[in-house]
Amino acid sequence: MQPSPHPPIDWQAFADEAIDLLCRFIRIDTSNPPGNERLACDFLGAILQREGIPFQLYDAGNDRVSLRAVLPGDGSKRPFMLLNHTDVVPVEREFWDEDPFAGTIRDGYIWGRGALDMKGLGIAQLLTFLTLHRLRIPLARDVIFFAQADEEAGSEYGMRYILREHPETIDAEYIINEGGGGTTELFGVERPVYSIAVAEKGPLWLRLVTEGLPGHGSIPHDDNALDRLVRALHRIQQWERPLTVSPVLEEYFRRLARAGIYRGDPTPEGLAARAAEDPRIRAMLTDTISTTTARAGIKHNVIPARAEATLDIRLLPGVDPAEFQAQLERIIDDPRVRIEPVHIRSSAASPFDTELFHCIESVIREFTEEAVVVPGMTLGFTDSAETRNRGIVSYGFSSGLTTPEVARGVHGHNERVSIEAFTLNCRMLWEVTLRMCAARPAT
């Protein structure tokens, strides 16, 4: 790594502060629902206030608060945003080995809800932001730290509220957010792989509702709401949708095949064959539909008057949700099945031939020489969908290496992050931000 022209950093003190802040942040219960993100903003705001950094709060009501702070640059380049969310998904405490809101350190790991999703990255961003301020690094860009509410429940009180009421605050050339990450193993091959998420699938959550004639279960008839719903679900299950290998995934599999990690045929034909037997690859290459809930009936011997089911549909980047819903209606082919939208979000991919992508790739290889770096697509959704739709290059980049077993803690039990992975995340994010944002010294 090239020597830095900027003041030296005590990396041990840097790591110690990061670990302490993350443990304390985890102890703030921001489970969504209800969120209570104001508590997180109180914590972050107190830190910024002690450092003499001004910030703004954006209150969507009912303690759904987001926080934004800016370190001004000289304006020679457009702003750079460190974006995170402060809410976390709920927990089932009885299945955890540690208190999910204690921020416990055990066996080299920091335990707790949000350690991976995404209070860990939020603290890495905060410490990068604080260090730029403390060292008085001259900046070519404004550096924005934005901690958002309500991402885990669809962002109605977070990013979507901000874009409706305060759109001027979302102005940047580049954004680093959640979504990507490093894994120690992929496709059964043990080698570090970093996926920089440049795209994500879009949720199209729908509710199917049918209504019919109630009656005694001993006298079947042709207007049974539940029968109608079952027929609709069966048609959906039989619907074969085409596989699509986007430019992002073409490059993803090409790089992995070249590194010997993906050992199949990376051509569209080869991937289609592999998708038939690998659910994850199939999910990457097609619009998926999962039936997630079904409700009907009040008693064993009563034909129900109403039945409903929910569909978790995930659309490939660039797919029009309205057109997909129209196709779904044609597949169901029953005007008495009502389709109600619940949550819709879609976006195109960000380009990966950019200054930021190349900078991240360079930093990863300096810290982990043998790493394979790929552009990736997130199967879940993030706030980056909203920012990509505004033309902002938005990447998911969480730079710590995590084993597949530990990665399953995201939205699961025993969520934790290794201290080694977390501190690596902090170091690499600092280096990327510094290179992207620091003004060049005069010569």
* Assigned domain for 356 exists: no
- Answer whether residue 378 is part of any domain: no
**Nearest partner of 134 among 18, 9, 20, 2, judged by Cα:** 9
Domain count of the fold of the chain? 2
Helices 11-26 & 119-134 angle (0-180, nearest 10): 140
Q: How much is the pTM?
A: 0.94
Q: Residue written as tokens 């170091």?
A: 427
Tens digit of pLDDT at every position of the chain (443 positions): 555 677 889 999 999 999 999 999 999 999 999 999 999 999 999 999 999 999 999 999 999 999 999 999 999 999 999 999 999 999 999 999 999 999 999 999 999 999 999 999 999 999 999 999 999 999 999 999 999 999 999 999 999 999 999 999 999 999 999 999 999 999 999 999 999 999 999 999 999 999 999 999 999 999 999 999 999 999 999 999 999 999 999 999 999 999 999 999 999 999 999 999 999 999 999 999 999 999 999 999 999 999 999 999 999 999 999 999 999 999 999 999 999 999 999 999 999 999 999 999 999 999 999 999 999 999 999 999 999 999 999 999 987 899 999 999 999 999 999 999 999 999 999 999 999 999 986 43
304 with 166, same domain: the answer is: no
Same domain, residue pair 150 and 217 = no
pLDDT value at residue 443: 37
User: Both 163 and 231 in a single domain?
Assistant: no
Look up residue 291 and give its amino acid: T
Q: Is the peptide bond before 34 cis (omega within 30 degrees of 0)?
A: yes
| 212 and 149, same domain (yes or no) | no
Question: 258 and 337 share a domain?
Answer: yes
Does residue 419 share a domain with residue 278?
no
Q: At 205, which CATH number?
A: 3.30.70.360
Q: Evaluate whether residue 354 is within a structural domain.
A: no
Residue 92 lies in a domain: yes
Whether 427 is covered by a domain: the verdict is yes
Shared domain for 148 and 216, answered yes or no, is no
Does a structural domain hold residue 376? no
Which of 344, 372, 390 is the last residue in one of the domains? Answer: 344
> Are residues 34 and 164 located together in one domain of the fold?
yes
Find the CATH number of the domain harbouring 150.
3.40.630.10
The boundaries of the domain holding residue 161 are: 11-178+398-437
- Do 37 and 169 fall into the same domain? yes
Residue 359 lies in a domain: no
The residue among 277, 310, 344 that closes a domain is 344
Same domain membership, residue 314 and residue 417? no
Q: Are residues 293 and 334 in the same domain?
A: yes
Residue 404 lies in a domain: yes
> Would you give the distance in Å from CA 13 to the centre of its chain?
29
Q: Please indicate, yes or no, whether residues 142 and 15 belong to a single structural domain of this protein.
A: yes
- Cα within 13 Å of Cα(27), Cβ side: 11
Position 7 scores a pLDDT of: 82
Encoded amino acid at 179, one letter: G
